[in-house]
Amino acid sequence: MARLLRTLRSSQPVARFQRCCGLFPADSLEEYVVKNYFYYYLFKFSAALGEEIFYITFLPFTYWNIDHSVSRRMIIIWSIVMYIGQVSKDILKWPRPLSPPVVKLEMRTDAEYGMPSTHAMAATAISFSFLIATMNQYKYPFELGLVAAFVFSTLVCLSRLYTGMHTVLDVIGGALISAVLLVLLYPAWDIIDHLLLTSPFCPLLCIVVPLVLCYNYPKLDYYSPTRGDTTTILGAGAGATVGFWLNNQYAAPTYTSRNFQLGFPLITSKIVVAMLARFFVGIFVVLSTRQLMKSVVLGMLGYRYKFPIGDLEARRRLEVEVPYKFITYSSVGFSATVVVPLLHKLLGLM
């Protein structure tokens, strides 16, 4: 068993997988040589399914076009799973694969530790929580949903090997941790959902608890983007949760899912147009909110702590990074769940 674990933690299996998929180290000034562009683009796309661009589009899409309860459960599970994954990295401090022999296609996350793979955790959590939340509400073959969830999570997991960012053990560990958390949290889904919608303490707790966790994030000897990424995730989850509570308290407009009750194959072109309209209007507001709040919050913090907005080192300081990320992304979450639905109603898109 110990020998197997050492093998799974080593860089050699990752390097062999890359070569099997047509990715090789370069002998010249190039960083790497691609001999199979199908795998290259497939796994580069799959890796993006674990990045901010996917979270900021897919999670709001489910809220605007599918079902509020499904979206709420996915966001809560995603926030919990990602926090545990990020903290685990900086507690375990397992290094990423060595390069060489591995070819690394990403540089930003190379400063982070490897175990567990939060891409694998997020992909497993999102795909299977979506399956669990929808299988009893909508008419579609369960086997199809199961295969889709498995394929989605598998592609993201394999992409972390292809891009050279994780060992096999990192990926397996991330997927297993996420699966265990899903099993443990599933019995409490309805209770958590009810409390988040009805408790008068929900807004306060949803802001204070994540902020305390962010300010008390495990300290490292050097800067790592994990604290900033964790603050982004918890901030978005906090803002969205406050929006859920506010909508429930004041009977805000809700999206109907009646179009889906007869089964996904019967979705008409009119429904598709409405869904796309809601999505593009919503994503414009969300991205605009993010850009606006980034500028405003950074400007205020720069004035408070006397640093220029372009000073990257200053932006990495605890007293700057945490409020900057948290306020920006909690505003994004709140905008997606409160402001966008009101705008949809005003435009007749509900």
Catalytic (active-site) positions: 119, 166
**Contact partners, residue 72, CB within 8 Å, separation at least 6:** 193, 196, 241, 244
Strand partners, 23: 34
**C-alpha–C-alpha distance, residues 6 and 3, integer Å:** 5
Q: CA 26, 119, 154: angle at the middle one, nearest 5?
A: 85
Q: Long-range contacts made by residues 207-214, C-beta under 8 angstroms, separation at least 24?
A: 207/238, 207/242, 207/330, 210/234, 210/235, 210/237, 210/238, 210/326, 211/322, 211/326, 213/83, 214/322, 214/325, 214/326
Q: Note whether 327 and 297 are within 8 A (CB).
A: yes
What is the 8-class DSSP label of residue 350? -
Q: Note whether 139 and 263 are within 8 A (CB).
A: yes
Return the closest-CA partner of residue 239 out of 318, 336, 342, 319: 336
Q: Note whether 142 and 89 are within 8 A (CB).
A: no
**C-alpha–C-alpha distance, residues 317 and 309, integer Å:** 13
**For residue 43, how many C-alpha atoms fall within 13 Å in the half-sphere facing its CB?**
24
Length of the chain (residues) = 350
> DSSP states of 92-145 as a string?
H-PPPPPTTTS-----GGGGS--SS-HHHHHHHHHHHHHHHHHTTTS-S-HHHH
